[in-house]
Every structure is written in C-alpha cells, then in structure tokens.
A and B are shown apart, each in its own frame.
Chain A
Amino acid sequence: AQSVTQLGSHVSVSEGALVLLRCNYSSSVPPYLFWYVQYPNQGLQLLLKYTSAATLVKGINGFEAEFKKSETSFHLTKPSAHMSDAAEYFCAVSEEEANFGNEKLTFGTGTRLTIIP
C-alpha cells in the first residue's frame, strides 16, 4: 500500500528565505509523485509532477522538487519565498494501475506555509 508523510504541519519562513517542505513516501512499485497547492477558499492546484522522466522536477511559481529514491523523499523547495506563497501544500503519491493509469492518489496531511514579512 502506498502512503505519504509530510513532516511539519506548519512551516514559517521569512520573505526572501528558502522554502523547504518535506515529503516522504512509501510505495511497493515505482511511484508517481505530486505536489499540490491550496490557496484559501480554493481547490487544489497542481504545482508539479514526477513520473520518472527526470529526478529534478520544475513546477509553477518557481517551485521545484527532487526525487531521491534512496531516501524515499520528494521535498519541495523554492529559493526565495514570496508573500503570495502562503498556502497549504499537499504531497501525493500514486501507483500506476492497469485500469486507471496513475489517477488514484494518496495524499499527505498537508503543510501550511506562512510567510513572515
């Protein structure tokens, strides 16, 4: 069975500082990994997706994530935080299934990112 652990339910960083949000996964097969962002009163928006093409994945809004198989990690980073990055971030994993492709996602519990002016 697949699972995702997000370390830190709340993370605060100063504007301009590095953002690091942690995600570790467990999967019995090579996984597909995702980061989604949720702004207040909105649904989830895809930030980036790993599908084994490259271990470093670049997403929208300057975010990127690196897949490290040896550490079973897929941490999300951004070099310089902006006030508009304040949101909740979810890591998710799926295992390719014959019928459904990579659609069935298991989500982490989320990390709320606060940006300090």
Chain B
Amino acid sequence: DVKVTQSSRYLVKRTGEKVFLECVQDMDHENMFWYRQDPGLGLRLIYFSYDVKMKEKGDIPEGYSVSREKKERFSLILESASTNQTSMYLCASGAGAQPQHFGDGTRLSIL
C-alpha cells in the first residue's frame, strides 16, 4: 500500500521564520505535489515535481519554494513565513496513470 508521510501533523512558527515541511513517499513515484487547503477554496497546487531536481510552479507559488534532492522526498519551504500562510498543507505522490496518493497533512500556524 502506498504511503505518503508528512513529517509533522501540527506546526507552529513565527512570522519571518524559514519553515520546512517534509514529505516522503515509499512507492518510487516520479511525481510529487504540494497543495494548500483552505476552507471554501478547496485544494490549490503550490508546486509539483516530476523528477529529481525538477520542479514546476503550480497555481499559487508565491512565497514558497521546493526542493527534491532524492526521488522519495519533496520539501516545501516558506522562505519568510507570514500569517497568510497559516493553512493545511497536503503532500501527494503519483506516477503515470495512477491517481495521486495523499499524506495526512500538516496544519501550520504562523503567529
């Protein structure tokens, strides 16, 4: 069974901090994704990666960056956290025609 693991379920950080959200998948999937989920807005794609060291901007990349040094790991970075980045962050992985598999999410609060 595919497992996508996000390193933290809950995280509290301060404005201006650099924040790292980590995601690891165990199925050798080529594609990995970061979404944020906000009430009434559904899921919005921040960044995705289709190979190691490759990345593509999603719909809302501003204020974020990503890193994919190894196939199984995809990190989301908030360069200088702001209160409007308080949200639920979901990581997903997938390959080819397979549907995306999601982690349990990280609920991030920026104070």
**Chain A residues near B (Cβ < 8 Å):** 6, 9, 34, 36, 41-46, 49, 51, 90, 92, 99-110
Q: Could you tell me the distance in whole angstroms from the C-beta of B58 to the nearest C-beta in chain A? A: 8
Q: List 18 A-B contacts (CB under 8 A).
A: A34-B99, A41-B105, A42-B105, A43-B4, A43-B90, A43-B103, A43-B104, A43-B105, A44-B92, A46-B101, A90-B43, A103-B100, A104-B45, A104-B48, A105-B43, A107-B43, A109-B40, A109-B41
Judging by beta carbons under 8 Å apart, are B99 and A100 in contact? Answer: no
Is B42 a contact of A103 with CB atoms below 8 Å? no
State which size class the interface on B falls in. 20 to 34
Interface of B with A (CB < 8 Å)?
4, 9, 31, 33, 35, 40-45, 48, 50, 90, 92, 94-97, 99-105
Contacts of B43 in A (CB 8 A): 44, 90, 92, 105, 107
CB-CB nearest 10 A-B residue pairs = A43-B102, A109-B42, A107-B43, A44-B102, A107-B42, A101-B96, A43-B104, A46-B99, A103-B31, A103-B94
Give the distance to chain B from A70, nearest Cβ to Cβ, in Å.
Answer: 25
Partner of A45, one of B42, B97, B102, B105: B102
Residues of chain A lying within 8 A (CB to CB) of residue B45 = 104-106
Determine if A90 and B94 form an interchain contact, defined as CB atoms under 8 angstroms apart: no
Shortest distance from the beta carbon of A96 to any chain B beta carbon, whole Å: 9
Known: A103-B94, A104-B48, A108-B42. 17 other contacts (CB 8 A): A6-B42, A9-B40, A41-B104, A41-B105, A43-B90, A43-B104, A44-B92, A46-B99, A49-B99, A90-B42, A90-B43, A92-B43, A101-B95, A102-B97, A103-B96, A104-B45, A109-B41
Distance of A107 Cα from B38 Cα, bound (Å): 12
Question: How many Å lie between the Cα of A6 and that of B43 in the bound state?
Answer: 13
Question: Which A residue's beta carbon lies closest to that of B41?
Answer: A109
Q: Contacts of B94 on A, CB cut-off 8 Å?
A: 103
Q: How far is the CA of A100 from the CA of B48 in the complex (A)?
A: 11
Q: Which residues of B contact A6 (CB under 8 A)?
A: 42
The chain B residue sitting closest to A110, CB to CB, is B42
List, in ascending order, chain A residues with CB within 8 A of B97's CB: 51, 101-102
- Neighbouring A residues of B95 by C-beta, 8 Å: 101, 103
